[in-house]
Structure 1
Amino acid sequence: MQYPTNLKIGIVVVAIILSVGLYSLPKVLVSNATESLKTDAAEMQSQHESMLSPADQASLLQLKQAWQQASEAATQSALADSLYTFFRARSLFDSAAVYKAWQADQQPDEAHLMAAADAYLEASEFAIDAQKANQLALKARKYYEAVLAKTPSNLTAKTKLGTTYLTDSNPMQGIALIREVLQAAPTDELALFTLGMLSIRSGQYANAVSRFEELLANHPQNEEAKYYLAQSYHNVGQTAQAKDLLQALEKGAQDTLIRAAARRYLDELN
């Protein structure tokens, strides 16, 4: 399993910290849900249009009309991809997620359900308003649950499902789910990373060191884990180890964002 080799995972987990899918419902409810999604998309797009340039507004209108009028399923799905890409490129993640959700409701296989869940999780991570973030996380949860109803062995979906509970009234339920992943797969990269980031957030840096060291023993190329292990080392007083890791990242990290972050951190430590 591969994860992005940049700081996105860390940003995502930090942001996360700060029911069955529609495929199982009667067809008439699925149809009504699709119409509701179109209404939601229209409402959000209306709110976002004031942020768009005239050229973008014209492009959006053309895409919306083509999507709504498309008669073939494949064409409509391709246009939904275009709308998703359009909104995501402009950091309008909530509007983008609507189109992945529409695809998942039309074709509720594991890949489409996972894509919808990931899109809503991303939207929740970048939502400024806490209430909106929770609402989007709930939508992500629904699709992750749908994935797991089809494929209980999907540990990535289970870990991400756990993260959707971390900002509601029962965060321990989320942590329990992530720990279940580690019981099934003790070296799971995403689960170890998520618990490491939770340890940092709660100030339990010794636990964070343990999680990231374990992760790197099994996934030595994970540059994000090296960066956050350095941060954890510094916070438990192991500054020399922190500097060694940061210097190695500054010189050899494949990701330019991590190299820059390591350089800034070193400047703070020196």
Structure 2
Amino acid sequence: MSRSQILIVVVAIALAAGIFFLPKVVVNEEDKENFAKAETTAGTPEGHSEDDGHNHGAEAGAAADAHATATPEQLMALATARAKYNKATDAQTRARFASELAAAYSTASKYDSAGYFYEIAAETRGGEKSYRQAGDAYYEAFSFAATQERANELGSKARSMYEQVLKNNPSDLDAKTNLAMTYVATTNPMQGIMLLREVIAADPNNEKALFNLGILSMQSGQYDKAVERFEKLVAVNPQHVEGTFYWAVALAETGQAEDAKALFNKVKGMSKDPALAASVDEYLAKLN
């Protein structure tokens, strides 16, 4: 788990916020000239370009971190893929190049643009795989949205793609889990929670659903339930670092200090992430 991921979830738990994802800006270059200029300098947050069909403007400066930049090689790959896409004349060829362009955007961590072009490909090709690619890209962008408005927009796009996936394959529990988490960030979070419970009913050992239910329990202050979820998760996967960390947090919040200390110390031996180690030390200092 990255430092920013740990911090954002811890802050969300403390504030019981509705959105608990890392802010992120997605950048598109407006034309080949901009791509060429960027070959020697890193990209800067600009939001979507109009030629992508959905111009969103710049996000808050606080979100303009390393995630918002692309390497010169990535920018060149984007320029090449975009040139192919723009030159395509028939729908099938354009869909194929839309997928290539989407993949290039995904590689550059510009997930909303990746979702946009995967969606174009999916609308032409159809099929579970195409819609799943679009849904996953939009979900990544949603997960890093810097504002509630942006999260709502991207969550809605992800939902529409995942709904197409589930029409083709109702047993895709990963798609259902992601779909659930987009609902959690809306004014109807219970719909998301019910979907997560459906996933658990179908697969009691589903790690992703257990983790998300644990986090949601913590956000609502239901630490006893969080303990149960994370304990189950770690039983399923003893090497789940994040699950072990949040299990320890939940135990600490329920007054089980000694058990929490033991787990926090275990976490320190499971990961070399300095941010995680710092978070563990902070909790241990409070418990000692």
TM over 0.5: yes
Establish whether residue 206 from structure 1 lines up as the match of residue 224 from structure 2: yes
Partner of 2:123 in structure 1? 105
Could you tell me which residue of structure 2 aligns to residue 114 of structure 1?
A: 132
2:59 is the counterpart of 1:41: no
Whether 2:164 is the aligned partner of 1:146: answer yes
TM-score, normalised by the number of residues in structure 1? 0.74
Taking a change above 3 Å as real, the CA distance of residues 68 and 263 of structure 1, as seen in their structure-2 partners, is same
Among 273, 277, 280, which residue is 1:262 paired with? 277
SS at match of 1:165: helix
Which one of 89, 104, 124 corresponds to residue 142 of structure 2?
124
Match of 2:243 in 1: 225
Cα deviations across residues 84-112 of structure 1 (Å, max 9, x unaligned)? Answer: 35434554332222122223223222222
TM-score (ref. length: structure 2): 0.70
Is this contact kept in 1: 2:114–2:134, CA < 8 A?
Answer: no
Tell whether 2:183 aligns with 1:165: yes
Q: For 2:266, which of 243, 248, 267 is the aligned residue? A: 248
Q: Counterparts of 2:173 and 2:240 in 1: how far apart (Å)?
A: 19
> How many residue pairs get matched?
242
Whether 1:155 aligns to 2:173 is: yes
Give the alignment of 1:53-132 within 5 angstroms.
60-70=78-88, 79-132=97-150
CA contact (8 A) 2:142 2:151 kept: yes
Q: In structure 1, what residue type is equivalent to 2:81? A: L
The answer to whether the 8 Å contact 2:241/2:270 transfers is no
Mapped partners of 2:133, 2:85: distance in 1? 19
CA contact (8 A) 1:226 1:245 kept: yes
SS in 1 for 2:183: coil
> Structure 1: how far apart are the matches of 2:103 and 2:253?
40
Q: Which amino acid aligns with 2:132?
A: M
Please, which runs of 5 or more residues in structure 2 have no aligned partner? 20-48, 60-67
Displacement, 1:79? 4.4
Shift of 1:267: 3.8
Contact preservation (8 Å) 2:230, 2:247: yes
- Superposed displacement of residue 71, structure 1: 5.4
Q: Which moved more, 1:193-202 or 1:160-169?
A: 160-169
Matched letter for residue 185 of structure 1: D
Could you say what the CA RMSD is over the residues aligned between the two structures, in angstroms?
Answer: 3.6
Higher RCO structure (Cα 8 Å, ≥6 apart): 1
Counterpart secondary structure, 1:164? helix
Contact 1:6 1:224 (C-alpha < 8 Å) held by counterparts: no
Gaps of 5+ in 1: 19-37
Task: After TM superposition, give the deviation of residue 269 of structure 1 in Å.
Answer: 2.3
Query: Quick one: distance in 2 between partners of 1:226 and 1:245?
Result: 7
Cα shift at 1:215: 1.5
More helix by share: 1
Contact map agreement 1:45 1:95 (CA 8 A) in 2: no
CA distances 1:231-267 after superposition (whole Å, capped 9, x unpaired): 11121122222222222222233xx43x640343224
For residues 12 and 89 of structure 1, what CA distance do their matches in structure 2 show? 25
1: distance between equivalents of 2:80 and 2:5? 34
SS in 1 for 2:153: helix
Q: Is the 8 A contact 2:111 2:137 kept in 1?
A: yes
**1:148 CA drift (Å):** 0.9
Q: C-alpha distance in 2, partners of 1:190/1:126?
A: 18
Distance 1:185 1:81, change over 3 A: same
